[in-house]
Structure 1
Amino acid sequence: MSDLKEEGFKTSDVLSALAGVFDKMPDKEKQAQIKKTNGIFQLNVKNAEGKEAVWVIDLKKEGKVTKGPVKKPDVAISLSDDTFIGLADGKVNAQKAFMTGGLKVKGNVMLATKLDGVLKGAKAKL
């Protein structure tokens, strides 16, 4: 999924890998993940240069990762490129990042907590 790549963002590598996991996932497994998560996550990621890129993880209908904002995500998460990489690696605690302002959430905060499980599950499949 090279169309997910964004120059200067480490996040794009992780999300490209996640998209690959979704693409290879058997349909039954993908439907179970969609049913379990039931949400659309919009990630607004800012890199060290202050440039922002937006990705969307759709685990409500299609089970895929796309680039660019959507009209009504269930949850919009704003964070830095480094914070996202830390979350994906399991080195950063999402609650701690939220409490210290390193991660901002608009929309369904409880749904945002499910993203951690999605990232960990995908990492296990890589």
Structure 2
Amino acid sequence: MSTIKAEGFKGSETLAALAAVFDSYSDEEKKAQIKKTNGIFEIRLKNANGEEGIWTIDLKTTGSVYKGESKSKPNVTILMSDETFQQLATGKLDGQKAFMTGKLKTKGNMMFATKLDGVLKSAKAKAKL
């Protein structure tokens, strides 16, 4: 789990917590989440120093979160600042509003990106993100 955290990225704490939630799921819960989401998010965050960090939320095959580019083609790549990701994860910012104001950009299936909000919310219910 500690391999998910990255120095200088607050969002990595959230992603590590998300990974812990996925790890705590029973096989049935994991299968249900995979069935519901059925896709891969590649998250690219830029921190205050302009450095980029890449994480993958795989809800297509493994039901896991890991640091680095997606091992298979992601359904969507989401690009945003570390700060914007934190606001999304805490519910202070709506994903659609972030997209409309240019704080969030996507590559790939834009409609699939809307599922990230649900993933964060369901995980938030299980853990304190």
Shift of 1:72: 1.4
What's the CA shift string for 1:60-94, capped at 9, x where partnerless? 00000011112511100000000000000000011
Q: Which residue of 2 aligns with 1:39?
A: 39
Shift of 1:110: 1.1
RMSD: 0.7
Q: Which residue of 1 aligns with 2:85?
A: 84
- Counterpart-to-counterpart distance in 1, 2:48 and 2:66: 22
Tell me the amino acid that sits aligned with residue 111 of structure 2: M
Percent identical residues: 63
Q: TM-score, normalised by structure 2?
A: 0.96
Q: Which residue of 2 aligns with 1:104?
A: 105
Tell me the amino acid that sits aligned with residue 107 of structure 1: G
Mapping of residues 1-16 of structure 1, within 5 Å? 1-16=1-16
SS for the counterpart of 2:69 is: coil
Unmatched 5+ stretches in structure 2: none
- Counterpart-to-counterpart distance in 2, 1:22 and 1:102: 27
* Runs of at least 4 residues off by over 3 Å: none
| Equivalences, count | 126
Shift of 1:17: 0.4
What's the CA shift string for 1:10-50, capped at 9, x where partnerless? 00100000000000101001100000000100000000110
Tell me the amino acid that sits aligned with residue 76 of structure 2: V
Q: TM-score, normalised by structure 1?
A: 0.98
- Counterpart-to-counterpart distance in 2, 1:53 and 1:82: 13
